[in-house]
Structure 1
């Protein structure tokens, strides 16, 4: 198959959407498919374009048998509500000529990941002209998230945005999301059940080891062997409510055998540094290279996954799979009845969101109970292997992609006959 992907984020970004878009494209290429990607220049999660790239021009490069077309875009240094909208719109605007230019290539499938939804019209147009299947993957319900989190405001604006979203989603041949709850929401938004598909964020279990040995990060961070490490690694953004980590650390300053490590980059990092300025039990790491990821995971005695209550079931944290596969227990903040609670409550500790006291109690429970840590860590890895294995997830995706291409070809044949 010829697959045209449109993704704001892509390799060499190592977290979030960029990681999964690149892994999927490269996997398809290894399977013999021809893949082209329209993307921006790498900037996430630091919100700073990586050196060696010029975001004011178009460029094409080849990465692991995938043709990558990079388009100009605007990257704000301090993303806020309006700046984020303009950022997404800039990518959508400059992606238009790139997508139109690929129509002559005659892709059989056009695959778009949201955010940004702004690119949907050009993806739909390119797909229809090329008689290709159009697949929308909703990694993040950006409209719902923006209004729930107060990034955007106004009931009239919200109603208009939701109407546009519904219209665009209903015209895709397939709409997928990373979780069952998000897929149900897609149906509630008007996507026919037969077009909805759950496409979870996967884990490469062949490379995600469960090494229980000490990580060299302990020496790097001067953390003694007997100290229990509470690790958060990932994007430092607005949706997680990450301040709860610093607040829990403050409550646990009386336990010198518990250390918090926050690893990553993002718009909330300066805020977190300020919150933890006087806390000796909190250490920070910059975003780490991909080849040290498993070693970083081995640093943890437990992982913490905060999420704000108002982000429930509109975002499924992509980092959860890696946490579960690491053979370490996970503490997640989620309300009962949400999908994150359902998953973590079976294999870890799910606690009420935005409660530093509840988080500190859960940390103490795991810190003082090694058998519980080992049991929950093993259960988490087993869940990841059974439900999130990269090969299994992508084989199911490939089969659905083939069927959508076949179905769209049939529609085109019918139109030609008529």
Structure 2
């Protein structure tokens, strides 16, 4: 990158590459992109475990160690991982605390090292990643960015995973404290940025930094591909796909209920692709409901992502009302890049509604309303011309708004300005 200063950047994130979904995927891709641009990038990161909630076999039992990954030096940090079919809020908190305490090994060396970083990026969740960057700024005067992928505490309370007891009040207070103390706060949608402002982040210190899609690798394809054929769906069938994490905040029971309402329509085939803490329960419930044309598949290899997304006629983006605008489903960016229409359970005024309804890329139905979801699937499934039109708009939206290079170049420019390395740019 000619004539552009190089930065020393530290990223702190529990989730990181080689995780292939959600926060771990985006943080790993950000680090790789910045390293490729010539910046020196280090990362304090946890063990790859999501969405299966099992540490990958090649990362088990290694303790604290350094790894070179895509031009990034990764300081791997061991931590607990919840086990069992369900993951409670308290189990998550214990995992995050164990990561934070283990990472002190690396921070003890970083705090007083002769070399200092130019900027630190703390990825939230978990909230605890903000603790040491705050101290590092106090000791070494290094600016830091709190990048919010998910307002985890708010979502947990709304979903009933936490009750507003002493611990939860403490978490709220800490979240507001770090949002006020961060040199800059960034988040992935305008509504999440507004939420950060409501919690104490100054509007002048808040950045909008959206998630992206690999629009060069994920492109519209012929839906009658090998992935579709493996599922037993013919060109005349309507294949409806949910691909993503399977956990409490998704609320996938509404999909099972809608599929049950449509079970007499032999044209519709359903597939749920992914892993997570709620999958075992959902599989058992699907069996009880007797859904012969609904299948569960494990998370697919990255190499098959474009083919998998292209195989579906309709994609689903399911989340509970309580999680609206506290999280932004990462699956949406790739759906749009693949040029496929989506149906989301979202209300007017949310980021999902803005992308799909206002952008003409899909349909939104009320969260938790299985009858409305079934009706939307029937309507879109029976109108091939509407699916094609919405798919074209989806791809156009991705090209205009989700290009990785464009988004990360803007983020890089802000980092340069924050570090005082580009006086001509604005922060």
Q: Which residue of 1 aligns with 2:65?
A: 59
Q: Deviations over 1:140-184 (max 9, x none)?
A: 111101111111112544433222211111111110111000000
What CA distance in whole angstroms lies between the structure 2 residues aligned with 1:402 and 1:120? 20
Gaps of 5+ in 1: 410-418
What CA distance in whole angstroms lies between the structure 1 residues aligned with 2:195 and 2:258? 32
Aligned residue among 81, 92, 97 for 2:105: 97
| 1:229 pairs with 2:246 | no
Q: Which residue of 1 aligns with 2:125?
A: 115
What CA distance in whole angstroms lies between the structure 2 residues aligned with 1:99 and 1:210? 45
Q: Which residue of 1 aligns with 2:346?
A: 334
Query: Compared with structure 1, are the counterparts of its residues 213 and 282 closer, same or farther at alpha carbon in structure 2 (3 Å cutoff)?
Result: closer
Q: Deviations over 1:1-41 (max 9, x none)?
A: 00000011111110011100111001001100000011111
Q: Which residue of 2 aligns with 1:362?
A: 376
Gaps of 5+ in 2: 1-6
User: Which structure 2 residues correspond to residues 282-361 of structure 1 after superposition, within 5 A?
Assistant: 282-346=294-358, 347-361=361-375
Deviation at 1:245, TM superposition (A): 1.1
Query: Compared with structure 1, are the counterparts of its residues 214 and 130 closer, same or farther at alpha carbon in structure 2 (3 Å cutoff)?
Result: farther
Q: Which residue of 2 aligns with 1:376?
A: 390
Q: Give the secondary-structure state (helix, strand or coil) at the position aligned to 2:147.
A: strand
What CA distance in whole angstroms lies between the structure 2 residues aligned with 1:48 and 1:158? 26
Aligned residue among 22, 37, 48 for 2:28: 22
Aligned residue among 222, 239, 242 for 2:249: 239
Deviation at 1:100, TM superposition (A): 3.0
Q: Which residue of 1 aligns with 2:76?
A: 70
Deviation at 1:235, TM superposition (A): 0.9
| 1:172 pairs with 2:182 | yes
Aligned length: 409
Q: Give the secondary-structure state (helix, strand or coil) at the position aligned to 1:350.
A: strand
What CA distance in whole angstroms lies between the structure 2 residues aligned with 1:159 and 1:375? 47
What CA distance in whole angstroms lies between the structure 2 residues aligned with 1:195 and 1:68? 28
Q: Give the secondary-structure state (helix, strand or coil) at the position aligned to 2:162.
A: coil
Q: Deviations over 1:299-350 (max 9, x none)?
A: 1001010110011111111111111111110100111122221221122101
Deviation at 1:254, TM superposition (A): 1.1
What CA distance in whole angstroms lies between the structure 2 residues aligned with 1:28 and 1:281? 44
On the 8 A contact 1:41/1:55 being kept in 2, the answer is no
Deviation at 1:227, TM superposition (A): 1.2
What CA distance in whole angstroms lies between the structure 2 residues aligned with 1:88 and 1:121? 12
Deviation at 1:212, TM superposition (A): 2.5
Q: Give the secondary-structure state (helix, strand or coil) at the position aligned to 1:276.
A: helix
Query: Compared with structure 1, are the counterparts of its residues 337 and 213 closer, same or farther at alpha carbon in structure 2 (3 Å cutoff)?
Result: closer
On the 8 A contact 1:235/1:264 being kept in 2, the answer is yes
Aligned residue among 266, 274, 278 for 1:256: 266
Q: Deviations over 1:359-391 (max 9, x none)?
A: 100100111100000000111111111111111
Q: Deviations over 1:272-305 (max 9, x none)?
A: 1012112102011100010110010011001010
Q: What RMSD over aligned residues (CA atoms) do the two structures have, in Å?
A: 1.5
